Amino acid sequence: MFDPVSISEAHQRALAFEKQSRRVGGSSSTASIGGSPGTGGMVPCVVPNQQRPTSNSVGPNPRTTVSSSLKCFSCGETGHRQSECKKVGKRHLFAEQDDWQNDDAGENYEDPPVYDEEHQCEEEVVTGDVGVNLVVRRSCFTPKVVGDDWIKHNIFQSTCTILGKVCTFVIDSGSYDILISEEAVQKLALKTENRPKPYKLQWLKKGGEVTVSKRALVHFSVGTTYKDDVWCDVVAMDACHLLLGRPWEYDRNIDHNGRTNTYSFLFGGVKITLVSSKPNEPVPRTLGTLLTLNQFEDELEAEGEIFVLLGKEVAKEVEIPEAMVPLLKEFADVFPNELPDGLPPLRDIQHHIDLQPGAQLPNRPHYRMSPGENEELRRQVEDLISKGHVRESMSPCAVPALLTPKKDGTWRMCVNSRAINKITVRYRFPIPRLDDLLDQISGASIFTKLDLKSGYYQIRLRPGDEWMTAFKTRGLYEWLVMPFGLSNAPSTFMHVMNQLFRPFIGKFVVVYFDDILIYSATFGEHVNHVRQVLTVLRWDSLYAAMKKCVFMVPKVLFLGYVVSGEGIQVDESKVAAVRQWPSPTTITEVRSFHGLASF
C-alpha cells in the first residue's frame, strides 16, 4: 500500500482494508486456542466480545510459539506485534465529518465494523517495480487510426476557445500538471509570470528536456456553457495548444468513460460531457500563420499545388501641388516609367575613351558564379540588348562582369573596369564644389528637385570607342551607351549637364551630376523656372524619374543637407550616426570615428 497523504485518504483505505478482512477472516485467518495442535479445533483469530486467555491459562499459547518470528512495525524490534508494543501509545486519526460522510454513502455494510486490535494478517508493502522501463511513444504524436476502432486507439483531443481563437486541447490523466504551448502564449499575447518552483519535463517536444519556468492564467471555454479559468505552465510542445492534466480532473471531479472516451462532470448545475474529435475531422488552425520549412514541404507534397501571396512595398506617391499639376501634364513625356528603347540622340558631347600609347590591352577571365547568378546575369544582359544599350562584341580586350545585391533584395550588374581605367587617359573636367553650390541657393524659399532616370544610359559613347567597353559573362558584349565604372564617366556627365543648363546655372538652377535643383523666391516665378528646365529636358531627349522628384516644397534634402528659406542645416540622419557612435577604445576605432567626423 502507498502511504496516505491526508486524513481522508487514510480513513478510506482503512475502510477498504477492513472490508477485505471480513471477506477472508472466516477461512484463512485462524489460530488454535487450547489443546494440542492436532485436535483440529479452529476459531477465528479475531472474535468480538470474546474473553482473552490470561497468563494463568493452561495449555500452550500460540503467541509464544511464533513470537520469535514477529516484528513490530512501530519500534522495529522482534518478539511482539505492533498492537502489543508498549513503547508507542495508541494513535488516533480524526476526520472531519464533511470529508468522509458523503464518500461512503454508497457502502452498505452488513456487519458492524471490526477493529484491528488482535488480528494481524500478513502484509506486503509494494513499491514501484524496478527494472528496465519500456519506452512509451508519445501518444500525441502516434499515427491516428481511422476506422471503427478510432476511439480505442486515440487519446482524447478536441477544440476549445481562448480569447476568441479556436485552439486544440488534450485531456491526459498521466500529466501531473496543466500545460499550454509557448506558441499559443505568443500568438494570444497571454500574460505570464515566473513559476515559484521551476522544473523539467520530457517527451513533450522532440529532443531533450523542457524547462518549465513560466505560467499563465488561461480563460477557455468548450461549447456555450462550460467556461473555466486554469493556471497553466508554459511549455514548448508540439502536441496541442492546451493540455489538461490530472489537477484539472481532480478539481472538477471528472468521470471518464473508457469505452466511449468521454469526460463528464457537473458545472453550474449542468452535466457536461466532453466528446473527443474524430481523426478525420479537420482541426481549425487559426493560430498557424507561419510554416516551417518541413511543414511547407509536407503541405506541398499533400496538396501538389500551393499559391503564395507575397507582400510588396508600394512606393509613396509624389505629392504634387495644384499649381504644378497642369505643367506636369503638359510635360508628361519627360517622366516615363521606363527609358525608351533604342539609343539616345548623338549630342555634341559623347563619352570618349582614349588609351595610353603602347598600353597592353587587358583580357580578364569571367568570374565563377552559381547557376542562379549566371541565369540572373544572362537575363539582365538580354534586357540591355533588347533596349539597345549593349551588343555582342569581337573586342580584343575584355573585363569581367559581376552581380552586387541591392537594398530591396534584387541584383545589379556591374562591370569591373579597373583594368581598362589604368590605361585610360584622364580628362579633368571640373566637378562643382559643394560649398559653391550651397552658396548659390541662399535666399531661395521654394525648391523643386529633379532626378534623371538612369542618367548615364542617356549619354552615347563616341562611335568607334565601343570595343574598349567590352565585358565578359558567358559571352562577350560591349556597351553602346556610357556605363557605370569608367574613369571619365563623371566628368562627361557634368560636361553634358553644364552645356545644357548653362543659361540657368547660377540664376535658378544648381546641377550636381543627375540631381537638378530649381530654386526660386516666389511661387509665380518658380513655375516659370520649372517650365524652362522641363523644356530643355524635352528638347534634348532627357528623362526624369517621377518617384524621385520633389515639387514646390519649402525645404528639400540636397547633397546631405537640408536646404530651406531659413538656411542650410545638417541632415539629422547624418548627425544620428555621430551621436550613436560608441566610445572608441582603440587607436583603430579613434581613426574610424575621425574619418566619419571629418565628412
pLDDT digits (tens, 9 = 90+) for 83-96: 777 765 544 444 44
- Least reliable range by pLDDT among 294-303, 431-440, 554-563: 294-303
Q: What is the mean pLDDT of the chain?
A: 78
As a whole number of angstroms, the distance between CA 461 and CA 482 comes to: 6
Q: Which three cell numbers stand for residue 139?
A: 501518444
Q: What is the mean pLDDT of residues 182-190?
A: 89
Q: Specify the range with the lowest mean pLDDT, choosing from 32-41, 149-158, 342-351, 428-437.
A: 32-41
Bridge partners of residue 415, in order along the sequence: 401
Rg (C-alpha) for the chain, rounded Å, is 46
Top mean pLDDT of 112-121, 150-159, 417-426 is at 417-426
Q: How confident is the model at residue 206 (pLDDT cuts 50, 70, 90)?
A: low
Please compute, for residue 8, the number of CA atoms within 13 A of its CA located in the half-sphere on the CB side. 9
Q: 376-402: b or e for each residue (b if 16 or more CB lie within 10 Å)?
A: bbeebbeebeebebbeebebebbbbbb
Rounded to the nearest 10 degrees, how much is the dihedral formed by the CA atoms of 224, 225, 231, 232? -40
Confidence at 55, pLDDT banded by 50, 70, 90:
very low
Tell me whether strands 390-392 and 399-405 are parallel, antiparallel or unpaired. Answer: unpaired
Query: What is the SS3 assignment for 77?
Result: coil
- Report residue 10: phi and psi, to 5°: -65, -40
CA dihedral 541→546→549→552, nearest 10 degrees, is 100
Who contacts 104 (Cβ-Cβ below 8 Å, separation ≥6)?
12, 15
Residue 390 has pLDDT above 90, yes or no: yes
The predicted-structure confidence for 486-542, as pLDDT tens digits, reads as follows 999 999 999 999 999 999 998 999 998 888 999 999 988 999 999 999 999 999 999
Measure the CA dihedral 228/100/4/1, to 10°. -110
Dist. CA 73–CA 70, nearest whole Å: 10
* Measured distance CA(19)–CA(92) in Å, rounded: 20
Question: Which long-range contacts link 153-158 to residues 24+ away (Cβ below 8 Å)?
Answer: 154/261, 154/276, 154/279, 155/276, 156/261, 156/263, 156/274, 156/276, 157/240, 157/276, 157/277, 157/283, 158/222, 158/274, 158/275, 158/276, 158/277
User: Mean pLDDT across the stretch 204-228?
Assistant: 80
Classified as helix, coil or strand, 532 is helix
Phi, psi of 87 (to 5 degrees): -85, -20
Domains of the chain: 7-100 (no CATH), 139-275 (2.40.70.10), 323-555 (3.10.10.10), 566-599 (no CATH)
Provide the pLDDT for residue 516: 92
Q: Which phi-psi region, left, alpha or beta, contains residue 227 (left: φ > 0; alpha: ψ -120 to 50)?
A: beta
Q: How far apart are CA 243 and CA 257, in angstroms?
A: 19
Tell me the pLDDT band of 314, cut-offs 50, 70 and 90. Answer: low
Compute the average pLDDT of residues 557-564.
85
Neighbours of 546 (CB within 10 A): 19
Question: What is the pLDDT at residue 510?
Answer: 93
Helix (H, G, I), strand (E, B) or coil at 417: coil
Rounded to an integer, the average pLDDT of 321-337 is 91
Q: Which residue has the cell 497553466?
A: 232
Burial (CB < 10 A; 0-12, 13-18, 19+), residue 441, is: buried
Asked if 220 and 230 count as a contact pair (C-beta separation under 8 A), the reply is yes
Most confidently modeled range among 230-239, 316-325, 345-354? 345-354
d(CA 400, CA 420): 11
Cell 570607342 sits at which residue? Answer: 465
Asked if residue 101 has pLDDT above 70, the reply is no
Q: What is the pLDDT, as a whole number, of residue 119?
A: 43
Other C-beta atoms lying within 10 Å of the C-beta of residue 482: 25
What CA–CA distance (Å, rounded) separates 243 from 170?
5
C-alpha cell at 128: 514501484
CA-based nearest residue to 29, from 126, 112, 124, 116: 116
Q: What is the pLDDT of residue 488?
A: 92
| Residue 234: its H or E element | strand 226-235
For 580-589, the pLDDT digits (tens) are 778 888 998 8
Count CB atoms within 10 A of the CB of residue 544.
Answer: 22
How far is the C-alpha of 20 from the C-alpha of 121, rounded, in Å?
11
Cell numbers standing for residue 369: 558564379
| Distance, CA of 462 to CA of 492 (rounded, Å) | 11
Task: Categorize the per-residue pLDDT at 463 as very low, low, confident or very high, splitting at 50, 70 and 90.
Answer: very high
Q: Cell match 557634368: residue?
A: 494
Alpha helices (H) along 324-476: 325-330, 371-387, 418-422, 434-441
Which residues, listed in sequence order, are joined to residue 505 by a DSSP beta bridge?
509
3-state secondary structure of 570: strand
Retrieve residue 146's grid coordinates.
481511422
Write out the three cell numbers for 411.
541584383
Question: Residue 119: CB partners within 8 Å, gap ≥ 6?
Answer: 21, 25, 29, 45, 46
**Grid cell locating 175:** 500529466
Contact 484, 414 (CB under 8 A): yes
* Alpha-carbon separation of residue 406 from 382, 409, 411, 417 (angstroms): 20, 5, 6, 20
User: Cα–chain-centroid distance for residue 187?
Assistant: 10
What backbone torsions phi and psi does residue 498 show, to the nearest 5 degrees? -65, -35
Whether the predicted pLDDT of 42 surpasses 80: no
Determine what percent of the chain is predicted with pLDDT higher than 70: 75
Higher pLDDT pick, 239 / 95:
239
Q: Which amino acid is at 39?
A: T
**Strand 192-201, strand 210-222: pairing:** antiparallel
